[in-house]
């Protein structure tokens, strides 16, 4: 005799800052089934992008996500550069790598803090986020913004890294590294954390490959993939670094991968600053010819993929975005089922889900029947536009 | 007339000093110390000293009290009152006996053990009554947590009883310590105190044992359906417990509250020591899982408690 109950996590829940719905079917504390509903925050980024010019569409994709505000633009500009075979100056490539790695540093640090918070370890939460400020300071110095850096453009980057900023960046990185050592020690050597995280939410290598998991989620399961090495972009093939993998596939392995990746990022930034050649930062391309191009980049959460098709006009006719979290969501069925509710939250958080990167829409009622299809939604939206137009007396 | 005076005296003791009014004020103040120290550990500024007072007053005076549909009102709204009443009684009994050790009665220690368990039981029943799946998950966790910490809690309580010549009167334990020195000085007393510290961490629902209200897992769990006055009363009961339980420990292991000027400062320092130990444990640990808590309390902690009892039996 089993008694099943439904535990909702979301759409509004202290676990997450953004709306997402995980339906956990539980027997007592044990999770027997999980259902993930995404698409509570549909913004139609792809459609908007198709109505903008190429330069503006980079501005739009930068706003897909506040955390990956370098990965999306970098993938997008690479897709556009792919269409026109545009050559990017060497200095700009190095700057792109630096910005991308700074983003990874702050994103991974943010995750360490959040993971602590989800475990009720608020000290790690506060400390992690305090150390992340150092990286945000560097970002502000180099790009002018803590988030949404607006650094990447087709053909190069918008701003140069000034010579007098380099010592500042290096001292801040040293400071960060010092704190990172401490966080590494306190997280990786804490016996209570070991008990809490080891062997929890295991994603086997076969499942990681089968579900096409990406980024640290896959690397923690022993899948040796990294876009930065496999399809080198920016300046990643000019510097020496390692792809971090772990075999275990549990939450602890995912934490280890992220923490060790931060060391690699610091090393990449240092090498790039060292090797950065002088020269222009922008090749100022004028026209985008007809054609199609793809661009991919290793975002902190995995591979982000952009496809852009151009018909020779000023704006893309098709712009497709695939964010890494979209590929990592389905792994929950393997990792969460069979664990307890206490562990479910940290397992859900372990892939570092980025909800705003993952936009689709579906409205369902309590019986899980689709009550509005995509066509209905388009019809509804058109009707509303008509009504508004009548109201405002415009044609 | 004497009955009247007696009733008035008890009412004063229970409701004003050292009962409800004093204890809740102290509890809220201690809650502020907890928040402030936690904030400083986490490099935040922390709230002003009156923050907890206005929080509770807001709940009691201004916020709407919602009762879920189809829920037994008596149970749902009665349980906060039960929690409150027992917490206040604990605080009153401990403080009165500390002032006048002769005032106790035979078996008051046993009564206290039961009364200390009452707020948790009341929370559990209230949560089950609210018919929310998250609340019932929280309540079942609270129940398992109680089962786990009560064993070492009662085992370590045996040490003060044995040391005071098998007396279950709190007054006798105090008098014995006044004559023979505090219990914390002896090996068995020290171990027993350490076990007790871990147990009260769980009793007060502090991290790593805030399993029943885990915010990021089950959204305050047992408290989820409570709002307004009912929630405010639960919060007050918890505040009184955070004040009374360390005093209980001081009574058992440090020879109780001293009323000489130097002794009183010592008592305050002892109180702060216990509080800071609790806050440090709270801030340097992640939340554990309920099965891990059970293994922890029934395994190493219970063994430590047995060890302390054995040492006490051998006279150490």
Residue B45 tokens read as 């500024």
Mean pLDDT over B81-86 rounds to 92
What percent of chain B clears pLDDT 70, i.e. is strictly above it? 100
pLDDT tens-digit series, residues A330-345: 888 888 888 888 788 8
- Best of B44, B198, B217 to substitute, by most chain A Cβ atoms within 10 angstroms, is B217
Q: Is the pLDDT of residue B119 over 70?
A: yes
Interface membership of B45 toward A (CB under 8 Å)? no
Mean pLDDT over B268-280 rounds to 90
Quick check: A345 and B285 CB within 8 A?
Answer: no
Q: Is the pLDDT of residue A369 over 70?
A: no
Nearest to A123 among B215, B284, B291 (CB): B284
Q: Is the pLDDT of residue A46 over 60?
A: yes
Mean pLDDT over B14-33 rounds to 87
What is the pLDDT, as a whole number, of residue A174?
Answer: 92
Helices (H), A85-158: 90-118, 122-143
Mean pLDDT of chain A, nearest integer = 84
- Alpha carbon of A246: minimum distance to chain B alpha carbons (Å): 23
Domains and CATH numbers, chain A: 45-357 (1.10.645.10)
- Alpha carbon of B224: minimum distance to chain A alpha carbons (Å): 12
Interface membership of B287 toward A (CB under 8 Å)? yes
Interface membership of A191 toward B (CB under 8 Å)? no
Residues of B in contact with A130 (CB under 8 A): 43
B180 to each of B170, B174, B255, how far by Cα in Å? 15, 10, 10
Quick check: B289 and A340 CB within 8 A?
Answer: yes
User: Which residue of B lies nearest to A344 if distances are taken between CA atoms?
Assistant: B217
Range with the poorest average pLDDT among A136-145, A215-224, A328-337, A366-375 = A366-375
* Dist. CA B51–CA A299, nearest whole Å: 42
Q: Is the pLDDT of residue A1 over 50?
A: no
Reference A224, options A234, A236, A216; nearest CA is: A216
CB A80 within 8 A of CB A73: no
- Alpha carbon of B237: minimum distance to chain A alpha carbons (Å): 23
* Dist. CA B291–CA B181, nearest whole Å: 39
Quick check: B134 and A7 CB within 8 A?
Answer: yes
* Dist. CA B309–CA B303, nearest whole Å: 10
pLDDT tens-digit series, residues B88-100: 999 999 988 888 8
Contacts of B114 (CB under 8 A, 6+ apart): none
* Dist. CA B34–CA B27, nearest whole Å: 10
Q: Is the pLDDT of residue A357 over 70?
A: no
- Alpha carbon of A10: minimum distance to chain B alpha carbons (Å): 10
Q: Is the pLDDT of residue A364 over 50?
A: no
**DSSP labels for B62-117?**
IS-----TT--HHHHHHHHHHHHHHHHHHHHHHHHHHH-GGG--TTHHHHHHHHHH
Interface membership of B299 toward A (CB under 8 Å)? no
* Dist. CA B92–CA B8, nearest whole Å: 15
Interface membership of A46 toward B (CB under 8 Å)? no
Identify the H or E element spanning A297: strand A291-299
Residues of B in contact with A26 (CB under 8 A): 137
Interface membership of A17 toward B (CB under 8 Å)? no
Q: What is the CA radius of gyration of chain A?
A: 22
* Dist. CA B244–CA B237, nearest whole Å: 10
Mean pLDDT over B253-259 rounds to 83
Q: How confident is the model at residue B85 (pLDDT cuts 50, 70, 90)?
A: very high
pLDDT tens-digit series, residues B152-162: 999 898 888 88
Q: Is the pLDDT of residue A303 over 50?
A: yes
Q: Is the pLDDT of residue A360 over 50?
A: no
Interface membership of B74 toward A (CB under 8 Å)? no
* Dist. CA B204–CA B239, nearest whole Å: 9
* Dist. CA A247–CA A199, nearest whole Å: 12
**What ipTM was reported for this prediction?**
0.78
Range with the poorest average pLDDT among A35-49, A220-234, A244-258, B152-166 = A35-49
**DSSP labels for A315-375?**
SEEEEEEE-HHHHHGGGHHHHTTTSBHHHHHHHHHHT---GGG-----EE-TT--EEE-HH
Q: Is the bond into A86 cis (omega within 30 degrees of 0)? A: no
Which A residues 291-350 touch B at CB under 8 Å?
340-345
Cβ–Cβ contacts within 10 Å for residue A73, how many?
Answer: 30
Interface membership of B202 toward A (CB under 8 Å)? no
- What's the pTM value of the predicted model, to 2 decimals? 0.82
Mean pLDDT over A191-214 rounds to 86
Contacts of A235 (CB under 8 A, 6+ apart): A90, A93, A94, A96, A97, A272, A275
Q: How confident is the model at residue A358 (pLDDT cuts 50, 70, 90)?
A: low
Mean pLDDT over A347-375 rounds to 62
Nearest to A29 among B219, B288, B290 (CB): B290
pLDDT tens-digit series, residues A137-164: 898 888 888 888 888 888 888 888 888 8
What is the pLDDT, as a whole number, of residue A367?
Answer: 54
Domain layout of chain B by residue ranges: 2-314
Cβ–Cβ contacts within 10 Å for residue A158, how many?
Answer: 15
- Best of A10, A23, A27, A122 to substitute, by most chain B Cβ atoms within 10 angstroms, is A122
User: Which residue of A lies nearest to B210 if distances are taken between CA atoms?
Assistant: A120
Q: How confident is the model at residue A371 (pLDDT cuts 50, 70, 90)?
A: low
Mean pLDDT over A29-47 rounds to 79
Q: Is the pLDDT of residue A18 over 80?
A: no
Interface membership of B208 toward A (CB under 8 Å)? yes
CB A201 within 8 A of CB A221: no
Quick check: B284 and A119 CB within 8 A?
Answer: no
DSSP state, A281? S
């Amino acid at each position: 005799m089993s008694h099943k109950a439904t535990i909702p996590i979301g759409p509004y829940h202290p676990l997450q800052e953004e709306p997402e719905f995980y339906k956990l079917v539980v027997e007592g504390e044990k999770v027997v089934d999980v259902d993930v509903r995404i698409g509570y925050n549909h913004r139609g980024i792809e459609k908007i992008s198709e109505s903008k010019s190429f330069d503006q569409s980079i501005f739009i994709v930068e706003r897909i996500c506040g955390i990956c505000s370098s990965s999306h633009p970098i993938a997008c500009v690479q897709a556009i550069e792919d269409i026109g075979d545009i050559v990017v100056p060497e200095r700009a490539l190095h700057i792109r790598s630096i910005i991308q790695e700074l983003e990874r540093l702050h994103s991974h640090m943010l995750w360490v803090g959040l993971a602590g918070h989800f475990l009720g370890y608020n000290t790690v939460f506060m400390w992690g986020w305090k150390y992340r400020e150092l990286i945000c300071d560097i970002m502000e110095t180099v790009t002018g913004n803590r988030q949404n850096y607006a650094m990447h453009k087709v053909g190069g980057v918008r701003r140069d890294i000034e010579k007098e900023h380099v010592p500042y960046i290096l001292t801040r990185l040293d400071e960060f590294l010092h704190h990172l050592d401490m966080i590494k020690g306190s997280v990786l050597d804490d016996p209570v954390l070991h008990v809490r995280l080891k062997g929890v939410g295991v994603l086997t290598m076969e499942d990681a490959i089968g579900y096409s998991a990406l980024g640290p989620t896959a690397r923690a399961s022993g899948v040796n993939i990294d876009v930065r090495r496999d399809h080198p972009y920016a300046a990643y093939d000019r510097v020496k670094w390692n792809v971090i993998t772990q075999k275990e596939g549990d939450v602890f392995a995912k934490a280890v991968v992220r923490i060790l990746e931060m060391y690699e990022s610091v090393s990449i930034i240092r090498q790039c600053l060292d090797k950065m050649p002088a020269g222009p930062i922008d090749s100022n391309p004028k026209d985008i010819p007809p054609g199609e191009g793809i661009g991919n980049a290793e975002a902190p959460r995995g591979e982000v993929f952009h496809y852009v098709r151009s018909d020779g006009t000023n704006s893309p006719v098709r712009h497709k975005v695939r964010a890494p979290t979209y590929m990592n969501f389905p792994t929950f069925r393997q990792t969460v089922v069979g664990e307890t509710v206490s562990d479910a939250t940290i397992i859900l958080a372990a892939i570092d889900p980025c909800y705003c990167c993952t936009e689709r829409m579906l409205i369902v009622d309590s019986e899980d029947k689709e009550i509005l299809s995509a066509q209905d939604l388009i019809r509804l939206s058109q009707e509303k536009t008509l009504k508004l137009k009548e109201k405002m007396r415009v044609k | 007339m004497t009955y009247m005076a007696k009733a008035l005296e008890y009412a004063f003791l229970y409701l004003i000093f050292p009962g409800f009014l004093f204890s809740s004020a102290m509890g809220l103040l201690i809650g502020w110390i907890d928040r402030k120290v936690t904030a400083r550990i986490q490099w935040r500024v922390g709230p002003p000293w009156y923050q907890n007072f206005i929080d509770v007053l807001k709940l009691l005076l201004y916020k709407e009290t919602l009762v879920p549909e189809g829920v037994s009102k008596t149970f749902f709204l009665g349980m906060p009152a039960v929690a409150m009443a027992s917490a206040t009684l604990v605080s009153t009994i401990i403080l009165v006996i500390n002032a006048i050790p002769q005032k106790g009665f035979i078996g008051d220690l046993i009564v206290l053990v039961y009364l200390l368990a009452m707020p948790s039981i009341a929370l559990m029943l209230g949560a089950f009554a609210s018919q929310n799946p998250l609340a019932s998950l929280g309540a079942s966790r609270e129940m398992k947590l109680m089962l786990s910490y009560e064993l070492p809690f009662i085992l370590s309580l045996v040490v003060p009883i044995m040391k005071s010549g098998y007396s279950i009167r709190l007054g006798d334990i105090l008098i014995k310590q006044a004559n023979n020195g505090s219990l914390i000085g002896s090996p068995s007393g020290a171990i027993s105190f350490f076990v007790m510290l871990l147990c009260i961490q769980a009793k007060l629902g502090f991290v790593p044992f805030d399993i029943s209200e885990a915010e990021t897992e089950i959204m305050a769990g047992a408290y989820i359906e409570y709002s307004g006055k009912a929630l405010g009363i639960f919060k007050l009961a918890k505040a009184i417990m955070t004040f009374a339980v360390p005093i209980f420990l001081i009574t058992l292991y440090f020879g109780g509250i001293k009323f000489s000027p130097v002794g009183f400062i010592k008592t305050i320092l002892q109180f702060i020591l216990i509080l800071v130990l609790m806050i440090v444990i709270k801030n340097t640990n992640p939340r554990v899982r309920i099965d891990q808590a059970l293994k922890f309390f029934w395994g190493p902690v219970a063994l430590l408690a047995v060890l302390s009892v054995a040492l006490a039996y051998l006279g150490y």
